[in-house]
Amino acid sequence: MMKKYLPLIIALLLTLPAPASEPWVGLCVSVADGDTITVLRDREQVRIRLYGIDAPEGGQDFGTVSRRYVGDLCHRQTVTVTPVDTDRYGRTVALIEADGVSVNRELIAAGLAWVYPQYCKIPECAQWRALEADARAAKRGLWAHPDPVPPWEWRRRGRGAAQQDAQSAAEYRGNTRSGVFHKPECRDFDCANCTAVFPDRSAAVDAGFRPCGTCRP
Q: Would you state the pLDDT for residue 170? A: 55
The catalytic position among 47, 57, 67, 132 is 57
Give the count of domains, the chain: 2
Q: What range does the domain containing 43 cover?
A: 24-144
Other C-beta atoms closer than 10 Å to the C-beta of 199 total 14
Q: Is residue 44 flagged as an active site residue?
A: no
By the 8 A CB rule, do 34 and 69 touch?
Answer: yes
Q: Is residue 43 flagged as an active site residue?
A: no
Give 198 or 211, the one with higher predicted confidence: 211
Phi/psi of residue 107, nearest 5 degrees: -60, -40
Residues 122 and 178 in one domain: no
Residues 175 and 70 in one domain: no
Other C-beta atoms closer than 10 Å to the C-beta of 187 total 10
Q: Would you say residue 164 lies in a domain?
A: no
Model-level pTM?
Answer: 0.66
- The pLDDT tens digits of the residues spanning 32-73 come to 999 999 999 999 999 999 999 999 998 899 999 999 999 999
The pLDDT of residue 16 is above 50: no
- The Cα 112–Cα 53 span in angstroms is 10
The catalytic position among 41, 68, 91, 159 is 91
Residues 193 and 92 in one domain: no
- The pLDDT tens digits of the residues spanning 90-130 come to 999 999 999 999 999 999 999 999 999 889 999 999 999 99
Residues 110 and 67 in one domain: yes
Q: Is residue 49 flagged as an active site residue?
A: yes
With H, G, I as helix, E, B as strand and everything else as coil, classify residue 195: coil
Residues 116 and 199 in one domain: no
Q: Would you say residue 93 lies in a domain?
A: yes
- The pLDDT tens digits of the residues spanning 132-188 come to 999 999 999 999 998 999 999 998 887 555 344 433 445 888 999 999 999 888 888
Residues 95 and 31 in one domain: yes
Cα–Cα–Cα angle for 124, 127, 128, rounded to 5 degrees: 85
Straight-line distance from the first to the last Cα atom of the chain, in angstroms, rounded to the nearest whole number:
59
CATH label of the domain that carries residue 80: 2.40.50.90
The four Cα atoms 113, 117, 122, 124 give a dihedral, to 10 degrees, of: 40
